[in-house]
Amino acid sequence: MNLINCPGCGEIFVKNNFRDVCEKCWKAEERAYDTVSKYMRKRENRAATITQVVDATGVKESLILKFVKAGRLRTTQFPNLGYPCDKCGGIIREGRLCASCTSELKEELERYNKEEKRKQQLQRNQTFLSKKSL
């Protein structure tokens, strides 16, 4: 058995694959999800932003983000829903990083690879030269 403290209320419960909070909090989350999804189903609310959903439903922003991240609220259906990028906190709709952080990370990696190659090349040249001078 895997006993942990519920991140919602601090009570000790048995962790399983389906729930990361205790029974009580899970039920509260499901109720909150019902409220949010009912609100989002209305055509005029499809384009609502997180802030608007929080205001209209009274559900905590962190909980709504959890639903979005888990794919329960689909960003393909709701154009203005998203969750924060791991790096800069900008709103994203898929993956873990926003587009600019992704390309930044890629550039960094490329620079690093180039630098490593240059170092290796330098090392090879040096061994070559030292062998020659013998």
Interface ranges with Zn ion (CB under 5 A): 6, 8-9, 22, 25, 85, 87-88, 90, 98, 101
Please state the closest distance from residue 78 (CB atom) to Zn ion, in A. Answer: 20
Nearer to Zn ion, 25 or 40 (CB): 25
Please state the closest distance from residue 22 (CB atom) to Zn ion, in A. Answer: 3
Please state the closest distance from residue 5 (CB atom) to Zn ion, in A. Answer: 9
Give the side-chain half-sphere CA count within 13 A for 119. 6
Contact (CB, 8 A) for 102 and 95? yes
Alpha-carbon distance of 44 to 75, in angstroms, equals 16
- Name every residue whose Cβ is closer than 8 Å to that of residue 55 and which is 6 or more positions away in sequence: none
- Write down how long the chain is: 134
Please state the closest distance from residue 60 (CB atom) to Zn ion, in A. Answer: 14
Nearer to Zn ion, 8 or 93 (CB): 8
Nearer to Zn ion, 90 or 119 (CB): 90
Contact (CB, 8 A) for 60 and 54? yes
Nearer to Zn ion, 109 or 122 (CB): 109
